[in-house]
Amino acid sequence: MNVLTMRLRHHGLGCKLFYIFHGCLLYADDILLLSHTVNGMQECWISVIEFACEFDMKFNTTKSVAIRIGSRYNIQCSSFILSGTEIKYVYAVKYLGIYIVAANVLNCQLTT
């Protein structure tokens, strides 16, 4: 388990994915944050920003997006703020070559 996931778990943030707790998925410089609620995701952002400050890291807010999965995926909700920049919701996001698509259930595709 990585340090950031341990921090998120300590603060009660993140969610279970296929019955295993995940606060985030990490690969190189790609971070995928997971949360059951919008408020929980904002708390994840805050925790990640604190982590980044401690380790002298910066986020590229122009590449950061949000996606919703679940029964309310297509209902408008509050935006997230990262370093003073509003994070936009998108229909699909590419992570490690796989597109994760906004839908009622987790939906991954090789092309959009």
DSSP letters for 94-107: EETTEEEE-SSS-E
Put residue 18 in one of left, alpha, beta given phi > 0 → left and psi -120 to 50 → alpha: left
| CB neighbour list of residue 84: distance below 8 Å, 6 or more residues apart | none
All residue ranges of the chain with pLDDT < 70 are 1, 112
Q: Which two tokens stand for residue 85?
A: 């920049």
Q: Where are the domains of the chain?
A: 3-109
- The tens digit of pLDDT for each residue in 49-76 reads 888 889 898 878 788 899 999 898 998 8
